[in-house]
Structure 1
Amino acid sequence: MTTTPEHDARIATMTFSSVYPHYITKVEKKGRTKEELHQVIKWLTGFNDSKLQELIAKKATFKIFFEEAKLNSNVEKIKGVICGYRIENIETSLTKQVRYLDKLVDELAKGRKIEKILRT
């Protein structure tokens, strides 16, 4: 399934800080912690807590967020469907990266073990 240019543009201009509180709510509602969420984000992006807070404070778009990220070398192991899209079939790089993050947050909220989420 391919995404539309409008969909990709909307994702590129969306700020990480607008979505981040929803990630926290989602994982905490299912008994997981903010620290576990940060562990997952760090694995994907290489960001430590201070860098994450800096990006939130400056209201970085997802485009900027992922331009500054150093994606984990095992990122291609993230597969499956999220938000109606099969991740491995998404052609736009940024949209794929955002869906990687969405998928990891979803796995965390569903109670999957951290070791499995981090593809270790």
Structure 2
Amino acid sequence: MSHRIYTMRFASVFQALIDKAERKGKTRQDVLDLTSWLTGYNLEEIEQAFRSGITYGDFFRQAPQYTPYRINITGKICGVQIETIEEPLMQEIRRLDRLVDWLAKGKSVADIIGKYQL
């Protein structure tokens, strides 16, 4: 099954995540830090992806090394339990959504990462 989000440009989807965080007083850097922690990309690689035409799906497919702690990221996003999503790629995408949701709720990057590294 192919979801539309897989073919969307990384820059447009990622900018929406940044905008969500910034509306709640967080920064672009906060979103970059969480994305780096989740996917294993370094900050320059994420910025390069932002400038390139890479799709959102390919950004996640090509992630260097997902954190092993990502399995601890659970809960609902868009009304769906992350841990029940059968498609691995969509599950990774929704995990980042969940991290940014925590950011938008006022949590710090350190608190968010600390919560999942238990």
Could you tell me which residue of structure 2 aligns to residue 84 of structure 1?
Answer: 79
- Sequence identity percentage: 38
Which ranges in structure 1 are unaligned for 5 or more consecutive residues? none
**Over 6 Å off, 4+ runs:** none
Aligned residues: 114
Q: CA deviation at 1:105?
A: 0.6
Q: Provide TM-score, normalisation by structure 2.
A: 0.88
Q: Which residue does 1:41 correspond to in 2?
A: 35
Q: Any unmatched runs of 5+ in structure 2?
A: none
1:91 Cα offset (Å): 0.1
For structure 1, which segment, 93-102 or 48-57, has the greater mean C-alpha deviation from structure 2 after superposition? Answer: 48-57
Render the CA deviation track for 1:4-53: whole Å, top value 9, x for unaligned.
x3xx4212212211112211111111111111111111110111221011
Any idea what the Cα deviations from partners look like across 1:73-120, whole Å, max 9, x if unmatched? Answer: 100000000012110000001111110011111111111232332123
Q: Is the 8 A contact 1:11 1:95 kept in 2?
A: no
Scaled by the length of structure 1, what TM-score is found? Answer: 0.87
* RMSD across aligned positions (CA): 1.4
What secondary structure sits across from 2:3 in the alignment?
A: helix
Q: How far off its partner does 1:62 sit? A: 2.1
CA contact (8 A) 1:27 1:37 kept: yes
Q: Distance in 2 between matches of 1:20 and 1:60?
A: 11
* Letter aligned with residue 21 of structure 1: Q
Q: Which has the higher contact order (CA 8 A, sep 6+)?
A: 1
